[in-house]
Structure 1
Amino acid sequence: MGNKIRAAIVGTGAIAEVGHLPALRAEADRVDVVAAVDVDQQRVTDFADRADIPGRYTSLSALLDREQPDLVHICTPPALHAEQASACLAAGAWVLLEKPPCLSLAEFDRIQAAERAGGPYASVVFQHRFGSGARHFADLLAAGELGRPLVAQCVTAWYRDHAYFDVPWRGRWETEGGGPTMGHGIHQMDLMLALLGEWTEVRAMAGRLDRDVRTEDVSTALVRFANGAMASVVNSLLSPRQESYLRFDLTDATVELTHLYGHSNDSWRYTPAPHVTDTDRIAAWRTPAANVSSSHTAQLPHLLDAMARGVRPPVSGVQARMTLELVTAIYRSAFTGEPVHRDQLGPDDPFYHRLHGDTPGWAGD
């Protein structure tokens, strides 16, 4: 690669502007944003003018051919991700893929098949893992400082009004992949998995209760983990008082995270169990060394470091796939009424290919 990484942005909507551009600007000492692409010529021109980006394209293939970027940020609707990420990887560019990463496990495996040992790799934007509060909690867990995890709650209680779904690709399996389970709660669930590890069993329900959508507008699930812990999960777009909430009950403490779209150290609360009375120990729980908010800006340096070393970046490969597996399992359990284990989600399963699993009443209506 040369002295600076040549980066490009695909899709110039809101998430590119408020998430990816600030992250790239924060790394200006090692990244140049050389081009942007959007199917709308005026939109990409306006975006590039505001961001002072020299290259403006309406074709991804033209951008890849002429600019030969080292890194591509994909910010398009989910239905385009598998094809675009695969094309970028085939062209030798590393990829930062906005969530949800794609529409199915089959598409995710297609993306992985385009990766090469030593890079390029595709990493998914799951920025909540990278806030200092989350990393501090993860370190405490790994060190056994909080005891053994037992019970968890994972709540994404958000509100999206009817007009939100007037955007043609929203609320449809073929373009968004799923409802709040796939497109909204996936952030909280990914952080839960980053902290609790491998899941083994899911039992779930889903509903289409109020919004005019083809997908669900709410889901609930019970999840069992390999370490024995159990969690309840709620994903909702029907909740007027919005909140993102994670709670972990361990043998020595309860740890809570309350926020909406991003967390800082102040978003975390540690409550010691009655038998824990060491004040120095408790104070160490509550005092991370740094205060880094969860954001694209927090995640991007880890990808750039991996590029420099030619190694797989965080939240790619197995790490990212496990989160999509959990999403798939919630749909499969909700639509079949049966518990789901990870080894059931293979190519012979219709849910591996489409998250509605061709279920009557959910698919194609």
Structure 2
Amino acid sequence: MSRKNVAVIGCGIGKSHIIEGYVPHPDKFKVAAICDLNEDRLNAVADEFDIPVRTTSFEECLQNDDIDIIDICTPPGIHREQVVAALANGKHVICEKPLTGSLADVDAIMAAEKTAKGTLMPIFQYRYGDGIEKAKRIIEAGIAGKAYMGSVETFWLRTADYYAVPWRGKWDTELGGVLVTHALHLHDMMMHLMGPAAKVFGRVATRVNDIEVEDCASASLEMANGAFVTLSCTLGSQEQISRLRLHFENVTFESSHEPYAPGKDPWKILAANDAVQRQIDEVIGDWQPVSPRFTTQMDHFHRYLCGNGPLPVSSSDARRALELVTAIYQSSDSGAQVALPVNTDSPKYASWRAKTK
């Protein structure tokens, strides 16, 4: 299998990509370059992981012919320009969430993909782990049956110290609040298991911190399959919890409550009766442990690049998650339910900050 050379752009969450995504796969990836504007942090990470090329220039990484993959871990406000530039330079691209800050920008990225030599993979690492992947297999096998109801809770804590980082908490640089930078993971997990939303009523507010963007939100969804789902998220919880509880005709699933790895076991998988349990045992009885988060997502991306599997997360997946964000913002602003899809005629299509008439 071909080993891919990676340039990691940004040493914040980028360090987690290295630790979880690349170090466990030395036969598949080599972090050949690292880029950050903070030279002290840049040199510390480069020294720790013996990365040969260290630079403060994104352009230098783009022009490096030895680099196969540009892994973008920068503040969200510059994701679009960096993704488009990397694609234009023939690189494969990994990009942290949120992919970008509006549906118009997502569509511009998707247009750039159509003529690019490389492939873009957005990051949704919470999809990976034993718990969520067992649930996905059971649902896809048809055992769970009709989807009834779900609840998704992103109850995290972020204080003034967190927002002391200059780009956080601002529309121009972070692109949004709890919906965009925190709960987006859980909401993607829910749609990964229950499919897309069809109708959205939402509310957002800034109640916890002195910031521009929202830190509390709630929404009521009607899914395309007819199920109802409630979303609740805050950055003011004194106990940090990520939790999905999804009710189907034959099975109820409840995730791990671990805030930053809810895809891991233990998950509750509650069968309606013994016959359903036997079916579940048949489809997951041979289960082999799955590494959570970046470890498995990066492994699947390498398989895709080598022609051995599907693209694990696509720009369409990122668009679906950001379409839900757009609908919640629009509903909160207008006080009305929003039907999906959200199209170019939406007042929030080009900018979440635009006022709804």
TM range (shorter): over 0.9
Q: Retained in 1: the 8 A contact 2:149–2:227? A: yes
Deviations 1:326-361 (A, max 9, x none): 111111111111111223x2233331122222469x
Task: Report the counterpart of residue 10 of structure 1 in structure 2.
Answer: 9
Task: Report the counterpart of residue 301 of structure 1 in structure 2.
Answer: 299
Q: Secondary structure at the match of 1:309?
A: coil
Q: Retained in 2: the 8 A contact 1:263–1:294? A: no
Give the CA deviation at 1:311.
8.3
Task: Report the counterpart of residue 237 of structure 1 in structure 2.
Answer: 235
- Aligned Cα root-mean-square deviation (Å): 2.2
Task: Report the counterpart of residue 155 of structure 2 in structure 1.
Answer: 157
What are the equivalent positions in structure 2 for 1:1-365 lying under 5 Å apart? 3-13=2-12, 15-116=13-114, 119-258=117-256, 259-263=258-262, 265-273=264-272, 275-276=273-274, 280-281=278-279, 283-284=281-282, 289-309=287-307, 313-343=311-341, 345-358=342-355
Question: Higher mean Cα deviation, 246-255 or 115-124?
Answer: 115-124
Q: Secondary structure at the match of 1:84?
A: helix
Which amino acid is 1:91 matched to? N
Give the CA deviation at 1:119.
4.3
CA separation of 1:279/1:247 partners in 2, compared to 1, >3 Å: closer, same or farther?
closer
Instruction: Give distance in 1, aligned partners of 2:223 and 2:279.
Output: 27
Q: Retained in 2: the 8 A contact 1:264–1:293? A: no
Give the CA deviation at 1:290.
2.1
Q: TM-score if structure 2 supplies the norm length?
A: 0.93
Instruction: Give distance in 2, aligned partners of 1:303 and 1:3.
Output: 12
Give the CA deviation at 1:117.
6.1
Question: Higher mean Cα deviation, 127-136 or 192-201?
Answer: 127-136
Question: Higher mean Cα deviation, 295-304 or 113-122?
Answer: 113-122
CA separation of 1:278/1:120 partners in 2, compared to 1, >3 Å: closer, same or farther?
closer
For structure 2, the residue ranges without an aligned partner over 5 or more in a row are none
Instruction: Give distance in 1, aligned partners of 2:312 and 2:280.
Output: 29
Deviations 1:164-215 (A, max 9, x none): 1121111111111111111000000001011111211100111111310111
Deviations 1:52-76 (A, max 9, x none): 1111111111121134411111111
For structure 1, the residue ranges without an aligned partner over 5 or more in a row are 361-365
Question: Higher mean Cα deviation, 123-132 or 275-284?
Answer: 275-284
CA separation of 1:168/1:226 partners in 2, compared to 1, >3 Å: closer, same or farther?
same
Q: Retained in 2: the 8 A contact 1:119–1:307? A: no
Which amino acid is 1:262 matched to? A
- Alignment length (residue pairs): 356
Q: Secondary structure at the match of 2:192?
A: helix
CA separation of 1:282/1:135 partners in 2, compared to 1, >3 Å: closer, same or farther?
closer
Q: TM-score if structure 1 supplies the norm length?
A: 0.91
CA separation of 1:280/1:329 partners in 2, compared to 1, >3 Å: closer, same or farther?
same
Which amino acid is 2:251 matched to? A
Q: Retained in 1: the 8 A contact 2:36–2:42? A: yes
Instruction: Give distance in 2, aligned partners of 1:283 and 1:26.
Output: 30
Give the CA deviation at 1:267.
2.4
Deviations 1:55-102 (A, max 9, x none): 111111112113441111111110011111111111111111111111
Instruction: Give distance in 1, aligned partners of 2:335 and 2:348.
Output: 14
Q: Retained in 2: the 8 A contact 1:182–1:327? A: yes
Q: Secondary structure at the match of 1:201?
A: strand
Instruction: Give distance in 2, aligned partners of 1:248 and 1:329.
Output: 22
Instruction: Give distance in 2, aligned partners of 1:190 and 1:34.
Output: 31
CA separation of 1:215/1:279 partners in 2, compared to 1, >3 Å: closer, same or farther?
closer
Which amino acid is 1:272 matched to? A
Q: Retained in 2: the 8 A contact 1:131–1:293? A: yes
Give the CA deviation at 1:42.
3.0
Deviations 1:211-253 (A, max 9, x none): 1011111000011111111100012101111100001111112
CA separation of 1:256/1:169 partners in 2, compared to 1, >3 Å: closer, same or farther?
same
CA separation of 1:284/1:248 partners in 2, compared to 1, >3 Å: closer, same or farther?
farther
Q: Secondary structure at the match of 1:338?
A: coil
Identity %: 33
Which amino acid is 1:216 matched to? E
Instruction: Give distance in 1, aligned partners of 2:117 and 2:130.
Output: 27
Deviations 1:112-163 (A, max 9, x none): 2221468412111101212232122111111121221110001101111122
Instruction: Give distance in 1, aligned partners of 2:65 and 2:276.
Output: 58
